[in-house]
Amino acid sequence: MKIIALEGPSYAGKSTALEHLRDHGIEERAFVSNCYVKHIAHRDDIPPARTDSAAAQLAAFETFMTIENTRVRAALASAKPLAVLDRSVDTLLAHAHAHDALFGYDVHHQLRDRLQTLPFLRPHHTLYLDVPAEVLSLRRKTAGHTAAESDYFLHEPAFLAHTRDYFVAGAQPPVSREVTIVPADTDPADLAHTVESLVTLWAR
């Protein structure tokens, strides 16, 4: 099975691209999985984006890896030659990398060690949708979410910088075998077509 993951900050366009792929029949030949948080039924059960301790960060990882274990089994049971994921374990490692840098938790290496004993879907290709912070802020405002949730940790400049650094700088190599950076400050429909073209190419 070839595995392709979509990564990038919140509001980068991952869900739109995945919806476009579904509308164009990707599920006829691919196992497709939504983002981890969409597998959690109750909003209050979603671990906070900003954890308040190293222990909480480790606990959040375990919560998401329970979902990852379910994804692994579902992907294998599908017997399809391709899997397309909205986020992969690299999301969890990128968040840990950012929390280590911002709060000194020192958990990133622990999560990497933990992965050695857990089944997970290691991407062959990862598309990192790269969007400037000001564009992300505008998209969130346009969606009408700014007033309801003004304190949005996932768009804080320092957090965005450190998570981007994980995928782009390579100081902590992503789990994915290959990461392709895609400028995504374009029309979401155009971006979706770009993603479709790359997925089609790699799926051959």
Q: Is 25 left (phi over 0), alpha (psi -120 to 50) or beta?
A: left
**124 within 8 A of 179, measured Cβ to Cβ:** no
In this prediction, residues 132-146 reach a mean pLDDT of 89
**86 within 8 A of 34, measured Cβ to Cβ:** yes
Q: Output the pLDDT for position 23.
A: 96
Q: Output the pLDDT for position 151.
A: 80
User: Taking the CB of residue 134, how many other CB atoms lie within 10 A of it?
Assistant: 9
Q: pLDDT digits over 21-77, tens only? A: 999 999 999 999 999 999 999 989 999 999 999 999 999 999 999 999 999 999 999
Percent of the chain with pLDDT over 70: 98
Q: pLDDT digits over 174-199, tens only? A: 999 999 999 999 888 899 999 999 99
In this prediction the pTM is 0.94
pLDDT range class, residue 170, cuts 50, 70, 90: confident
pLDDT range class, residue 148, cuts 50, 70, 90: low
Give the three-state DSSP class for 85.
strand
Give the three-state DSSP class for 135.
helix
Among the listed residues 135, 126, 133, 140, the one whose alpha carbon sits nearest the alpha carbon of residue 178:
126
